[in-house]
Amino acid sequence: MPRGGRKGGHKGRVRTYTSPEEIDAQMKEEKERKKQEQEGEEAGASPNSLAEKLPASGSEDSDDENSQRKRAGVQGLIEIDNPNRVTQKSKKVTQIELDEPKQLSRREREEIEKQKAKERYMKMHLAGKTDQAKADLARLAIIKKQREEAAKKKEEEKKAKDAAAAAARGINSLSLK
């Protein structure tokens, strides 16, 4: 039997739910804070000074702000960021430059190079400059000669057959008379 008595004691805890009114109140406070921050930025005030002016909405927010302000010892000097976290950098329309050449990935570059090499090879192949094209042309020449010789043979056999048939007709016509 495991220590602690019960198995999975964490399952039977009482769950607490946030009421819809509290959620609405939190949402309103966040909207107001954002509006004040935007107004402050337009006026030239820093967001940190605005955070100090705003009243804390709950115990969680005040704890976060206090921990940001009060960093003991070296913690205040060292900024720790997760290197695996990808932050999305949004650009304004004025910052986007259309003149810049698009940076291609390695796979895209290799794909484009492969297509260009294939096109060059096909042009050389059609011109008959590749080894494979030369071999194909030689094979075609041999096949043409064989077909011409076969056609001549058929022609000669046909003439011989016609001559034999004519000779047989001549003999048959003489024997009937």
**Higher pLDDT among residues 131 and 6, named by residue:** 131
172 pLDDT higher than 80 = no
- As a whole number of angstroms, the distance between CA 104 and CA 113 comes to 12
User: pLDDT digits over 5-18, tens only?
Assistant: 555 556 666 777 88
**Higher pLDDT among residues 29 and 18, named by residue:** 29
**Higher pLDDT among residues 135 and 97, named by residue:** 135
Tokens representing 139 are 């094979």
Would you say 30 and 17 are in contact if contact means Cβ atoms under 8 Å apart? Answer: no
51-73: average pLDDT? 53
Tokens representing 125 are 């192949």
* pLDDT classification of 4: cutoffs 50, 70, 90: low
Give the side-chain half-sphere CA count within 13 A for 29: 13
* pLDDT classification of 175: cutoffs 50, 70, 90: low
| Residue that is written with structure tokens 């309103």 in the block | 28
Please compute Rg for the chain using Cα positions: 46
102 pLDDT higher than 80 = no
